Amino acid sequence: MTRKLFFPIICVISAAILIFTMHFWKIPANDALHSDTFVIALIVMAVIAGLIGYLYSVAAYKVDNDPTLEHNEQDRQSFKKFSLMNIAMIISFYVALASLLMVALNQVSLWLSIVSIVVFILISLLRYYGYGLINKLYPERELPNNFDSEFDDKLIETLNKEEMIVIFTGLYNAFKLTNILLPASMLLLTLYGLETGQPQHFAIIIILLCAVAINIIYQLTVRKII
């Protein structure tokens, strides 16, 4: 129980600190968000995360072909590194996307715009490479292609009971976390708008629609399976 409450408590404490100190950081934060330095920092972070993801993909493939390990241990170790690769590449993709969007919003120099676009394209290709790695790690499983229109159904058919429990546990934990972070984001945006005089109506509505869509899809999917 304590472990389950740890992250929500940290989120609440962090949000409270941000809210009560907003008067001190709102102007520096606004200036930073509109600067070239912030865009450069995002690009650097995206590249570093992408490189880390690639290194983990190499490590996963190396472990999967290590003759000194038993087959089950190969699968276990390679999947752990594959998971870390996914985390790094997801971070890399969204940070690169953020840098591209900041370029569109801010008046940055031409060279920075070009670099941001190139980095986003490279990171997208790297993420595509990461998606295909699972088929190389488990060729005997006949896993579906990630871009298959029936990927979800075909993937479930290839899983055993233990694997399904692991995946569904992860998805449910992510679903619960989403229902904590989205309302918190709406509250923080509202308070930020009140404090800075820059209302965030559109952003709040978009988050609202995302939250509603996520919960509806989750409930309908569970209802369909049951």
CA–CA gap between residue 55 and residue 85 (Å, rounded): 8
Listed as ranges, residues in the chain with pLDDT below 50 are none
Q: Residues 77-127: pLDDT tens digits?
A: 888 888 899 999 999 999 999 999 999 888 888 899 999 999 999 999 998
Phi then psi for residue 61, to 5 deg, are -65, -35
Among all chains, which residue has been given the structure tokens 């950081």? 25
Quote the pLDDT of residue 15. 73
Quote the pLDDT of residue 108. 83
- Evaluate whether 63 touches 79 at the Cβ level (below 8 Å): no
Quote the pLDDT of residue 5. 65
Taking the CB of residue 198, how many other CB atoms lie within 10 A of it? 10
Structure tokens at 20: 């009560």
Taking the CB of residue 116, how many other CB atoms lie within 10 A of it? 25
Quote the pLDDT of residue 226. 65
Structure tokens at 220: 């309908």
CA–CA gap between residue 48 and residue 123 (Å, rounded): 11
Quote the pLDDT of residue 3. 63
| Amino acid at the residue 28 | P
Nearest partner of 36 among 83, 99, 84, judged by Cα: 99
Structure tokens at 129: 């490479």
CA–CA gap between residue 130 and residue 54 (Å, rounded): 8
Torsion of CA 154, 160, 161, 166, to 10 degrees: -80
**Tally of residues, the chain:** 226
Quote the pLDDT of residue 48. 96
CA–CA gap between residue 28 and residue 8 (Å, rounded): 28
Q: Taking the mean position of all CA atoms in its chain, how far away is CA 208?
A: 19
